[in-house]
Chains A and B, each alone.
Chain A
Amino acid sequence: MPLGLLKYGLRKTYPAERQIPAAQPLRPTYDVVIIGGGGHALATAYYLARDYGITNVAVLEKGYLAGGNTARNTAIIRSNYLTPEGVKFYDMSVKLYQELSQDLDYNILYSERGHFTLAHTDAALRTSRWRAEVNKHLGVNSELIFTDDVKKLCPALNCSEDVRYPILGALYHPPGSIARHDAVAWGYARGAARRGVEIHQLTEVTEILKENGRAIGVVTNRGTIHCNKLLQAVAGSSSLVSKMAGFRLPIRTIPLQACVSVPLKPFLDQIVVSGSLHVYISQSSRGELVMGGSTDPYGVYSTRSTLDFKEGLLGHMLELLPFLGDVKLARQWAGMADMTPDFSPVMGLTPLENYYIDSGWGTWGFKATPVCGLTMSYTLANNKPHELIEPFRLDRFVNFQQVGEKGAASVGH
């Protein structure tokens, strides 16, 4: 029995601790307004307060806290990317994640499971070796392994040659982890709120106020507020919000679906991804199989679920794990993925002065949460991009300086 829980059992009344602040009126001005109340927004608010003492901050969330992609992802954390820029960035994120429970004083249930990106073709083997080599060169633990080792390390997988897409090998990334995604957002929210940041749920920005090429405030459904700096961190709606700010993003927004099974006694300790089969799967601390696939075939601003997603996903899942035929799927849902042409994010300064952006996360937003908070808070505080996100600047698309990360996508998109 951990000592931390003793007080709950021994006290007569529950020692409630308000972690998410209660609704409060909007003030007319803030130093910083953050549009969006997901993980990235809350992490940025937290580090602004913690590292720069900037606490006169309002986080504006149109729905409930962290109810967008923070609530809808499959909670996988890894840094086995392809480009040096991506690897360095996500490696920092993994390092922050590893310390996050202590840092936030809030258990995010960070769980190192080992991550396998299966290769079924020799092209996939080549990409795996490429990623492994880049990772190792930058100090990230990844290795190309072949079928025998896959079988040894992850015995649940069907490694037989007698299937449509036999497993030839895998990119094995031991630090690959999962965490309780909601807890990450709540922990940041709690930490930010304790330092004075205001969190306003059910507060939707309807207009961005500009003056002489500078952002000066926002109009919301609850009134107008002015501010010195504005950050948009609204995955799934990035293009819509940037349109209000007056500039375009090279983003296509496509639904990405996922699903979970009814809880099962743990049998799959690893995170398994197959690009050729378009599936990824891990088993959560509740015993549910958390599964996802490729993005939907067309772009649409909708989080509706489809049947064909499940049919395709489970068909492939049973290739990898044929014994799951009688296991049941409990729930499916969808999020909105902001896809960029080079599969890297768009972060940093924008054409609008005092207006900053954190967008283009595609399917990778959750794993970047801490490093986004860290680098975006630096960028806001110093009005210049943090060196880790410099390559992800918006103008790279007009300057032919893309950061080609498609090869590190878990599954085809």
Chain B
Amino acid sequence: MSLVSSERAFILDLNKCTGCQACQVACGIENELPPGESWRWIDSFNKDHIADVPLYHLSLACNHCADPPCMNHCPALAIHKDPITGAVTIDEKTCIGCKYCTWACPYDAARFDSDARVVKKCTLCSHRLSEGLDPACVTQCPTGALRLGERGESIAEPSVAGFPETEADPAIRFIPLRENSQGPEVAGGSCEVPLEKSPEIASRPPRFSLRSEWPLLVFTLQTALLAAIMGAPAARDVINPFAFLIAGGVGAGLSTLHLGKKHRAWRAIANWRGSWLSREIILYSCFLLSSAVHLLVDPAGRESGLLASLFGFATLFAMDRVYYVTRTPGLRLHSAQVLLTGALFCSLLIGPAPLFTGLILLKTLLYSLRKIRFARSGRPVRPLLTLARVAFGFLLPVIIIQRPTGALLIIGGACLLLAELIDRAEFYLELEILSPRAEIAKILRRKVL
């Protein structure tokens, strides 16, 4: 019996797993991946040997969740769950390579393949299951630590420290360390251990890098600006329609830059029922379209202008929602939310000083609170950037807004923009995509601090 139904799961016995990585190698060979690559990996808990903390290993791949976040959030509907085997698989011919599933997966299982330009992951060795064989990782585990078994096994736990707990109902269970195997009493080692701030844990590289995803930064900020302009009647009356629309078009183009398969970009709207990414794209298209109608066909119409600005702010709302899948704490009220950015610029353009000042205060407060939290938990604060962000985004605009004349307004706007750029860049740098690796680091950081 090797089919995985909804009743079956990977069972990992932490007492038996030595982190030998045979499963990892077996996966690569079975799936004919280039030597050295694999869809399975080991995340080790306490590789640095912190005293009185046991070291154990999590052999991980896709957990073929009952309610897979990757599938639910895939904008292109490229991920499917097999009703018989339970295997969650990515259709390489439909995947647009947007990597959104790599943000949505809390287990680090989906990875972008930079050669194939699509996301790939464990298939549960579906080709072997159909022959009545276990997945290669299970067959090849030299200690019998990894197997397929029943979800309901009495000794197996649904989670273990370092494995994220989510609502996805992953098909994996852990047999925890026995009472007599909780790590050794060490005699003859060192008691005086100098503390180090961030314990290093071996794992896969981070899933997000600003260097490769900078178009998203530009696109989101620009959309906030465009929405703000459309939302301020005075501004939308003076804006050059062509400049506005070209900027919007370039933004759309930029946002497809990070796609693995640009020619399939149109698929991104397929999952409008379930994915905020699809919704964002649809709303953005409506925003551009309605803006075009207003600017080119009906420049005097208040209704068409209002409609366009509504679509603009709806886009910003959707845009912020897109990032919720990462499960980064504090995202629901974040100083770099584009909805706030749009509102801020809009209020600057419309002119009510109390609203503007209020928004600036709110953003600065959120920003400062976050930095304080970071400083307390030992995460990087970047003091110079912080100083610049607060100076440009709070002090200067507040001074300038006292005398809102043309030139000062432009200087104030430029300062604000710079501050927003810093904030948004940090937003991307600090995205914490939930993963076993991040979870392990968090727990161990607490142990040594």
Co-complex (A, B)? no
